[in-house]
Amino acid sequence: MKIGLLECDHVAESFQHIGGDYRDMFQRLLPGVEFVFYDLCNHHFPNSVEDCDAYVVTGSKYSVYDDIDWIYRLKDLVRDIYHHQKYYIGVCFGHQMLAEALGGKVHKSESGWCVGAHQFQLLHQAPWMHPFKDQLNLLMSCQDQVQQMPENSKLLAQSSDCPVAMFQVGKKMMGIQGHPEFPKAYSRALMDARVERIGLEKVEVGIKSLDLELDDAVFSGWMMAFFTPA
């Protein structure tokens, strides 16, 4: 299976010594996958939706409602992926893009930033969730959230500060608000650099939460099972 990684941002050079760029993080999350990299935020898009069997959309410092050319192009691409019945997993910004492109709504959360490790409570057990856990600990780094899911969606998970933490559209598209690809050290670096934006109290709680054991490996297995159903 050939998976297109749709890159919607890049790790700042000052942080790349921690875990590389986002493509490096996803390669570690999904070892052995044949990736094709598309640097969308620098206008490198697939020639056709048929170029890959599945697509993963990364996080971003941008918002899905920003008035930026490549974001509009990505919305069109997500609709093409939907209509051509390709597999899709959106992470953070990619999760929000899935909602926004297909008729849902995204805006800044009244809860403010979600940072550090959060507990995702699973509401449904899908066949690709194997081995199943009713709770996942995943890193988060977001201010925007999905406020309304598109039609033909099913809510899969939520957290205390994120009502739409994971959802599925049809059988082949799914979004997760968490960051299973992030190393803890990168999450810590982002929080340290954004204290004024996030707020000291939230940063302190977020840093303390990094003591939790994460379920990145579990979610990695779920992603592969989602892409390759039995």
DSSP 142-185: ESEEEEEPPTTEEEEEEETTEEEEEEEETTTEEEESS-TT--HH
| Separation of alpha carbons 40 and 58, rounded Å | 10
Rounded Cα distance between 177 and 113, Å, is 12
Burial of 131 (0-12, 13-18, 19+ CB in 10 A): exposed
Q: Does residue 92 carry a catalytic annotation?
A: yes
Please identify which of the residues 41, 52, 92, 114 carries the catalytic annotation: 92
Which one is catalytic: 8, 41, 52, 179?
179
Say if residues 146 and 106 touch (Cβ distance below 8 Å).
yes
Maximum separation of any 2 CA atoms in the chain, in Å? 47
Q: 152 is written with which tokens?
A: 């033909």
What is the sign, positive or negative, of the torsion defined by CA atoms of 39, 144, 129, 216? Answer: positive
Closest CA to 213 of 136, 114, 121: 136
181 belongs to the catalytic site? yes
Q: Which residues of 52-66 are buried (b: 16+ CB within 10 A; e: fewer)?
A: bebbbbbbbeebbee
For residues 177 and 111, is the Cβ–Cβ distance under 8 A? Answer: no
In the set 95, 100, 118, 181, the catalytic residue is 181
C-alpha span between 50 and 192 (Å, rounded): 41
Whether omega before 131 lies within 30 degrees of 0, making that bond cis, reads yes
Question: What pLDDT, on a 0 to 100 scale, did the predictor assign at position 169?
Answer: 98
The domain total for the chain is 1
Domain of 60 in residue numbering reads as: 2-227
- The domain that contains 53 carries what CATH number? 3.40.50.880
Q: Tell me the mean pLDDT per 10 residues along the chain, length 230.
A: 97 98 98 97 98 98 98 98 98 98 97 96 96 97 98 96 97 98 98 97 98 98 93
* Residue 84 annotated as catalytic: no
Distances from the Cα of 72 to the Cα of 16, 41, 43, 61, 159, angstroms: 28, 11, 11, 16, 29
Pair of tokens at residue 66: 């920003």
